[in-house]
Amino acid sequence: MKKQSISFDNYNGAIVLVNIETLPEILQKGHHFFLEAKDFYHQEPEIKETIDIYLDQLNTYLSTQEKFIKNNSSISFIKTFLDMHRTVQSKSNLKSFIFGLQKAVSKKEITKNDPYAMHIEQLQHKLIKKHNEMILQEQVTIIINRKWRSELRNIVNQSPIEGLSGIDSTVSKEAKNISTTPVKGNKLFTSFDQQPITSAPPTFRLPGAMGKLLGDLEKFELAITIEGDQGGGKTRFTYQLADAFAEIGNNVAIFTLEIGGKSDLITRMKNEYLSPQNRNLISRADQLPDGYNTITSAVGTFDVIIIDSWNKTGLPSQDFDRLRKQYPDTIFIVIFQRTTQKTIRGGTAPLYDAGINIEVIKVDDTFRNNYAVTTKNRYGITGIKYNISTKEIIGAVETKESEESPQTAMV
């Protein structure tokens, strides 16, 4: 049976089966324009023409893409693997996928000469490893690393499609009139009744107690400052943060400027606070040879950059906000040392610039009672206390999360 085309009348029901994020940029623009302008479809001829062009190009793309994937086994498996992202998979589902992949290889549908053989081998290795680790569990939530996911999507989206550029200027022109009209001719301002359209959830949460401490985070321009008493456990806490961010698939860089790379303390921190399955996503450096440029050079490789501590960088405190603004998609976590008056060295501007301020409190010399507390949090509740030794929230915290949920696995 021929697959039904997407039309104006069935769009809302049919488009839910399409992953908008994987579409070429021009079709993503077309989708957003459709949502903004659909109410004017029968009133404005130009809008109707633009939407009709978009629907025609969308159906052409999806049809060609489907044929292309069907005729390429490696790409078909990569697409199926991508569809697993942020889904709960059973142990038997993983086993079936792995066996199907091995069967395709044995039948020489995928060979060593395949242009994507390396990617197939990599995803096969990761899924086999995850399947073998599921000894006492039947379900797992699959999280694919952001950079690898982007690389795989580029492979799936590389089918030869022509003629998509015809709707670019039309959509841009009409969308400008519909969705980004400036207030009274002032291009700087946009009315609040023009809601931005996003194709992905705007927030995320770290696992376990760390998620309860920080709340539902928004990645855009996310920066976290950490200050506190000497010997309270600031560095230990950042290692726990690194592990939590790696747990959900982020590549993390730690500039251990306070502690040399050859120090035995680094090894002890790794063994105590970094989970073995996350260590391949966490890297460290104990030098900053080019200052600010050394930090920015790490942006393209890492999703999260931790600096311990800012005072060792030799940079002015204003550069903290400069990093946040210049690289809004990178998360910065920075320790600031205090003066004897218990204010951060170099000025308090970073406390105002960051979305979250965390203070580490030294209770006694045993370290067992030391805790981190949020003194400012744009994303959650302030005043929540987190015991650094036990890695647990101190006291009850209201949460809507289920006590039983599938384990999350990064691949």
Q: In what order do the strands lie in the sheet with 139-143?
A: 87-90, 139-143, 407-410
| 254: Cβ contacts below 8 Å, ≥ 6 apart | 238, 239, 242, 282, 283, 284, 285, 306, 308
What separation in angstroms does the CA of 237 have from each of 65, 92, 225, 234, 392?
47, 37, 12, 5, 12
What is the token pair recorded at 123?
């995803």
* pLDDT band, very low/low/confident/very high, at 392 (cuts 50, 70, 90): very high
Mean pLDDT in residue range 6-18: 85
Q: What is the pLDDT of residues 373-383, one digit of tens each?
A: 999 998 888 99
Q: What is the pLDDT of residues 146-205, one digit of tens each?
A: 888 888 888 777 654 444 544 544 444 444 444 444 455 555 665 555 555 444 446 899
Q: Which of 66-75, 98-107, 265-274, 382-391 has the lowest mean pLDDT?
A: 66-75
What are the domain boundaries of the chain? 11-70+161-190, 73-156, 208-410
What is the token pair recorded at 349?
């501007």
Q: Which of 105-109, 211-215, 238-242 has the lowest mean pLDDT?
A: 105-109
Residue scoring higher pLDDT (46 or 239): 239
Q: How far is it, in rounded angstroms, from Cα 144 to Cα 129?
A: 14
CATH code for 208-410?
3.40.50.300
| pTM: predicted TM-score of the whole model, two decimal places | 0.53
Q: What is the pLDDT of residues 169-185, one digit of tens each?
A: 444 444 444 444 445 55
Q: What is the pLDDT of residues 289-322, one digit of tens each?
A: 999 999 999 998 899 999 998 989 988 888 898 8
141 strand-pairing partners: 88, 408
With contact defined as beta carbons under 8 Å apart, do 143 and 85 qualify?
yes
| 18: Cβ contacts below 8 Å, ≥ 6 apart | 6, 62
* pLDDT band, very low/low/confident/very high, at 406 (cuts 50, 70, 90): low
